[in-house]
């Protein structure tokens, strides 16, 4: 079973309202096995637009990630923002398939061609 993720990009407009939300959302994440992989931190937008804060939360499955979003406990926490942030949130299924070049040794350098 592939894992599920929340990918969140946020611009906080009301720091106090956002603090209330952040202080209460952990109960929902714990209930559904959510685990922060990214929570703020340094970043550089190398293409496209960015928001001030980025978050990635991992769940055991896509269904768990979606259930957390729909849960009463998360919706209660979300309501505490009082429109204190603009956010883009994706709930997405992870990928467990083949990766590029996995198991293929790199070609050795040919000193004669240098």
User: Which one has a higher pLDDT value, 77 or 82?
Assistant: 77
- In the predicted structure, residue 90 carries a pLDDT above the cut 90: yes
**90 by DSSP, 3-state: which?**
strand
Among 26, 34, 28, 24, residue whose Cα is nearest residue 3? 34
What is the pTM for the complete model shown? 0.84
């Amino acid at each position: 079973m592939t894992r599920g993720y929340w990918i969140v990009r946020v611009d906080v407009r009301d720091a106090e309202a956002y603090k209330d939300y952040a202080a209460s959302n952990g109960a929902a994440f714990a209930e559904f096995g959510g685990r922060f992989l990214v929570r703020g931190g340094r970043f550089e937008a190398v293409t496209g637009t960015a928001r001030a804060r980025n978050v990635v939360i991992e769940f055991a499955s896509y269904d768990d990630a979606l259930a957390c979003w729909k849960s009463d406990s998360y919706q209660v926490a979300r309501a505490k923002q009082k429109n204190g942030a603009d956010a883009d949130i994706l709930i997405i299924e992870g990928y467990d398939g083949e990766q590029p070049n996995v198991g293929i040794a790199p070609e050795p350098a040919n000193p004669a061609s240098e």
